[in-house]
A and B are shown apart, each in its own frame.
Chain A
């Protein structure tokens, strides 16, 4: 693993080229190509129905693409799977499933464990550590349906951390969470960045992009722009991405962007 990381220092964590996805006849993601720089927090933003989640899922091979190639640390996703962590949308699972928070986090180790083998003490310790990192250690044995939405989101994040990956994909981690969870997620993103990890986040809230992220991908079926926040997160490019649905509101002297929700 270590040797691999050193070899791939110069290789981009993720390169997507010509990604096209269609449901029935309509293309939802059209010819998208981009490269993620290493060790950055990247926001994938765009209006509703712009194909943000679809692009992320197609990159991970969770929905079939009509065309397009994905390269992760210079190799195929199949070979580099152990270096990728994934946080799905919270609503994608049934939270009444009979299991507790610690057990869900340990699922992050299943890929490393291989077939049949059960998680042991090592996995349990690692899972407890990651729960600690998201401030959920006290809830380890709590049935997952008894957690609040924000706590469930943090359990999902802890599971991704337990994957010990280098490149993370997060599908709307901030959607419908409380302030405490939002803070916990931000702290976690910062820590991941410090550790040299790369994180791609599907994001909705334009007002926090400048504060939380280094890079942005602007998507509206096609990729409108990609680059550092300072040069890419501009009113002109945002207008192009959101069309007429974007208003620029100036609140207390500070310019704030408000996208349609």
Chain B
């Protein structure tokens, strides 16, 4: 085990990938906390699936595989998807969850068709674009890792600098508008940061699962604290741990895709949090309930022992 960890760190290539995935998890966890609190979890998934056609179009136009180019493609497609969702829910009676379901599957359908087309064309078979479905961190090159670092710094810096504004808009947008904050601008900023996180994550984690890196660490973090700054820190930590374990385990060989392992790690952290977190965790809740019940039973018994007249027999 220890040998394995040391070998991970000693191989410079693996070290880069490990760092990239850790930073990606950190940034996604932090920005995903706001997505989670604003109850827009499904939107993250829509953005992720919508990224696939964006990545394919970027590849078809330039015939090269480059993380920053794909980032732009994924961003553009994500914005198009969000515009579709808001147009559908504004112009029709369809609610936004259904609108997201429609848009998500539609974009993913187009993306899959494009991907198949690219795979069968000459240059495409070497593109490794199929890895974008479930993610393959091992396929990342140094420049990809730099992009991930940049994105991660951007996400964390934005969450720190605009912490107060993001918090207020997430908690009470009406009041925020009342005091003069440009609420829709801030909402769009959060949306774009989420899209950036998703777009940056798809190479490592894949379009199908990248939304989990936004939501699961945040949902797990919520169990441990009542304070937003602490929640952001926990979500970042959980995301980083998930990303690192995903990258580390996928280097074991046997072409294990990174995405599923990352998501499994994040889910494991979530389950642990759900069960064992103090106060909000299920175990703590059950124990509290039990001791309350026992206390009540004991004091009721004492009362009836002291005052037999009030112990249930009517006088």
Question: Which B residues are CB-close (under 8 A) to A86?
Answer: 174-175, 178-179
Q: B312 contacts which chain A residues (CB < 8 A)?
A: none
Task: Indicate which residue in B161, B172, B222 contacts A88 across the interface (CB closer than 8 Å).
Answer: B172
B276, CB-defined interface residue at 8 Å: no
Q: A97-B170, A98-B225, A98-B228 are in contact. List 18 more A-B contacts (CB 8 A).
A: A60-B178, A84-B178, A86-B179, A88-B172, A92-B174, A93-B172, A97-B228, A98-B226, A98-B230, A98-B231, A99-B228, A104-B171, A110-B168, A111-B181, A113-B164, A116-B161, A116-B162, A163-B179
Interface residues, chain B, CB within 8 Å of chain A?
Answer: 37, 39, 161-165, 167-168, 170-172, 174-181, 222, 225-228, 230-231
- Is the beta-carbon distance between B177 and A115 smaller than 8 angstroms? no
Evaluate contact between A107 and B174: CB separation under 8 angstroms: no
Query: Shortest distance in angstroms between B57's beta carbon and chain A's nearest beta carbon?
Result: 36
**A–B complex contacts, Cβ < 8 Å, 13 sampled:** A62-B178, A81-B180, A86-B174, A86-B175, A92-B172, A94-B39, A94-B171, A97-B228, A99-B227, A100-B226, A100-B227, A115-B165, A116-B161
CA distance A182 to B181 in the complex (A): 31
- Contacting residues, chain B, for A60 (C-beta < 8 A): 177-178
What is the number of contacts between chain A and chain B, taking CB atoms within 8 Å?
72
| Distance of A115 Cα from B164 Cα, bound (Å) | 8
Q: Which residues of A contact B226 (CB under 8 A)?
A: 98-100, 143
Most chain-B CB neighbours within 10 Å: which of A60, A61, A78, A110?
A110
Q: Determine the residue in chain A with the shortest Cβ distance to B221.
A: A98
A3 within 8 A of B: no
Closest 4 CB pairs of A and B: A111-B179, A143-B226, A86-B178, A81-B180
| A200 to B163 CA separation, bound complex (whole angstroms) | 32
Instruction: State how many angstroms separate the Cβ of B297 from the closest Cβ of chain A.
Output: 25
Q: Which of A50-104 contact B (CB under 8 A)?
A: 57, 60-62, 78, 81, 84, 86, 88, 92-94, 97-100, 104
Residues of the A chain whose Cβ atoms lie less than 8 Å from the Cβ of B164: 110, 113, 116-119
Shortest C-beta distance, B187 to chain A (Å), equals 14
Instruction: Identify which of B37, B163, B172, B177 contacts A107 (C-beta below 8 A).
Output: B172
Known interface pairs A99-B226, A116-B161; A111-B180 also in contact (CB < 8 Å): yes
Q: In the complex, what residue of chain A is closest to B222 when comparing beta carbons?
A: A98
- Complex-state Cα separation, A159 to B226, whole angstroms: 19
Tell me the smallest distance from the CB of B167 to a CB of chain A, in Å.
7
List A residues 141-166 near B (Cβ within 8 Å).
Answer: 143, 159, 163
